[in-house]
């Protein structure tokens, strides 16, 4: 059965998509069978992989709206792993889902496909979306990409509080949460200070690898290629290989 990993934090722009895509590529490089699911109506994961969300015959929205089996929406990427694409139709799914009732739907839908993969990675949208809650409920492991800046660390506290007070009691969950610092800037004392204080609070839940801030990341998005294919020996690529190895251990 696949290990289901959600890349989630309610704050926007912290590196969820970048981390999900590059971890998927690194796991595939290790020979793992990987499915990446794009749950964000912005469809940036889909675009990052060189696919146009408007021309995909099927996407995740049809799974929720029409009950299409999820395996029929899977698209092979050029990078050795599979994708369930997103589209802006996911906004209709968001409107359709009932709060407090439908958070377990994705979990059920993934049942049909779990045996085909070693890893299912879920890229979630920003905000307290019902689709994000669906991903969190489906996941066994939660990776929280946090940019190494004060505002994002406040967002981390918000997520952890919401898990403890809302989602975990309701769905009887208690998943492993690991914090992944992204956009780390070693040239000032700001990022090092933030990581140090987070390690004091969250201890071993802060992952040892740091994703440094690097222009290669937005460039790899522009090039529509994960870092492993765009800049194979870049420090950032190596850091995502370390995350993949940690997940696979
Ligand atoms: N380590 C990094 N260094 C520099 N830029 C980065 C890094 N990681 C991500 N970025 C850039 O930051 C922006 C936001 O990243 P990304 O889209 O991965 O965040 P996100 O959390 O998925 O955002 P959203 O909440 O909108 O879905 C993108 O332009 C991306 O290329
Ligand atoms: Mg994103």
CA distance 67 to 35: 19
Q: Cα–Cα distances in Å, from 148 out to 144, 175, 202, 214? A: 12, 23, 14, 13
- The answer to whether the predicted template modeling score (pTM) of the entire model surpasses 0.95 is yes
Number of domains in the chain: 1
Rounded mean pLDDT of the chain? 97
Q: Read off the pLDDT of residues 118-172 as tens digits, 9 standing for 90 and up.
A: 999 999 999 999 999 999 999 999 999 999 998 889 999 999 999 999 999 999 9
Find the mean pLDDT for residues 174-191. 95
The number of the ligand nearest the C-alpha atom of 9 reads 1
Find the mean pLDDT for residues 61-70. 98
Helix axes 150-162, 190-202, angle to 10 degrees: 20
Find the mean pLDDT for residues 203-213. 97
Nearest CA to 83 out of 144, 22, 24 is that of: 24
DSSP letter, residue 156: H
Predicted local distance difference test score (pLDDT) of residue 151: 87
User: Helix, strand or coil for residue 21?
Assistant: helix
The whole domain housing 54 covers 3-248
Residues within 6 Å of ligand 1 by CB? 12-18, 40, 44, 125-126, 182-183, 211, 213-214, 217-218, 221, 236
CATH number for the domain spanning 15: value is 3.40.50.300
**How many A from CA of 193 to the centre of ligand 2?**
26
């Amino acid at each position: 059965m696949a290990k289901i990993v959600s890349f989630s934090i309610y704050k926007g722009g912290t590196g969820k998509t970048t981390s999900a895509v590059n971890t998927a590529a690194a796991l595939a490089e290790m020979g793992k069978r990987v499915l990446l699911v794009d749950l964000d109506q912005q469809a940036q994961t889909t675009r990052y992989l060189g696919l146009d969300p408007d021309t995909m015959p099927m996407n995740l929205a049809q799974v929720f709206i029409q009950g299409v089996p999820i395996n029929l929406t899977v698209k092979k990427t050029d990078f050795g792993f599979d994708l369930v694409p997103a589209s802006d139709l996911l906004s209709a799914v968001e409107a359709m889902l009932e709060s407090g009732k439908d958070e377990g739907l994705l979990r059920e839908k993934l049942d049909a496909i779990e045996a085909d993969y070693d890893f299912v990675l879920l890229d979630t949208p920003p905000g307290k979306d019902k689709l994000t809650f669906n991903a969190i409920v489906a996941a066994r492991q939660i990776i929280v990409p946090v940019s190494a800046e004060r505002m994002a660390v406040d967002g981390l506290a918000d997520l952890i509080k919401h898990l403890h007070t809302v989602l975990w009691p309701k769905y009887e969950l208690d998943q492993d949460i690991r914090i992944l610092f992204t956009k780390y800037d070693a040239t000032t004392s700001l990022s090092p200070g933030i990581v140090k204080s987070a390690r004091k609070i969250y201890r071993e839940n802060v992952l040892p690898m740091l994703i440094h801030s690097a222009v290669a990341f937005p460039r790899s998005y522009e090039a529509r290629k994960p870092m492993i294919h765009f800049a194979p020996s870049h420090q950032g690529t190596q850091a995502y290989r370390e995350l993949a190895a940690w997940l696979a251990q």
